[in-house]
Amino acid sequence: MGYTGLMVVCAVWLILVGLGLLVVRRELAILQDRVANSGAAPADGLAVGAVAPRFPGMREDDVVLFFFGDCEPCHEVAEEVARSADPSRFACVVSDGTLEGSSTGFGELLPAQARVLTGDEATSVRERYKVRSGPFGVAVSGGLVVAKGVLRYADDLEHLRRAAYGEARASVGA
């Protein structure tokens, strides 16, 4: 085998390795998305069953929503909160995203009944809840985290609301 043959073999080998790495990368991205959807990723909030840190305006049974001011999916979920039948059941924690001061205008998207926390206190609460991405929600019942997850659809809000207020448990026993 000459120099040309060796170059062809190396080129084919590099192409196969590159394709293999692309497949592995794709599979890891799918797995990461599934874990994020379940809310079970270690980086996604407190563990289910953990004591939920209290903050001003929070209730013993509550749905705590975490938003970033410059996050487009956060804006979409905030619109869903505004359209909900009872926005007073949500405690909204709005932090600056990558843009300084982006949380200030975000509160206008939420109705007056939604309890909104912004500024340095919101950043502190987000850090205590270990939330690094948004929109993210945590259902608190009896002062404990009972459900959590990344918010992608209106049904995600409803799921958290039922978990926090015990409606899912009541319907199971009925």
Q: Name the pTM for this structure.
A: 0.70
Task: Look at residue 57 and tell me if it is in a domain.
Answer: no
pLDDT at 173 over 50: no
Asked, for residue 144, whether it belongs to a domain, the answer is yes
Q: What number is the average pLDDT over the span 62-88?
A: 87
Closest CA to 147 of 1, 38, 69: 38
What pLDDT was estimated at residue 54?
92
pLDDT digits (tens, 9 = 90+) for 15-41: 999 999 988 888 887 777 666 555 554
Q: Which two tokens stand for residue 143?
A: 């002062």
Same domain, 79 and 141: yes
Q: Do 143 and 108 belong together in one domain?
A: yes
pLDDT digits (tens, 9 = 90+) for 112-131: 788 888 888 888 999 999 98
Q: Measure the CA–CA gap between 1 and 114, rounded to whole angstroms.
A: 74
Strand partners, 141: 144
Whether 30 is in a domain gets the answer yes
Mean pLDDT of 37-55: 74
Domain limits at 99?
62-173
Do 69 and 139 lie in one domain? The reply is: yes
The verdict on 70 and 31 lying in the same domain is no
Residue 46 in any domain: the answer is no
Place of tokens 């309890």: 115
On whether residue 148 sits in a domain, the answer given is yes
Residue 43: inside a domain: no
Do 26 and 76 reside in the same domain of the chain? no
Tokens coding 165: 């207020």
Q: What is the CATH number of the domain that holds 138?
A: 3.40.30.10
In a domain, 166, yes or no: yes
Within a domain: 98: yes
Q: Are both 27 and 66 inside the same structural domain?
A: no
What is the C-alpha radius of gyration for the chain, rounded to an integer number of angstroms? Answer: 22
Instruction: Please state the domain count of the chain.
Output: 2
Per-residue confidence (pLDDT) for residue 38, from 0 to 100 = 52
Output the pLDDT for position 34. 65
Q: How is residue 33 written in tokens?
A: 């998305």
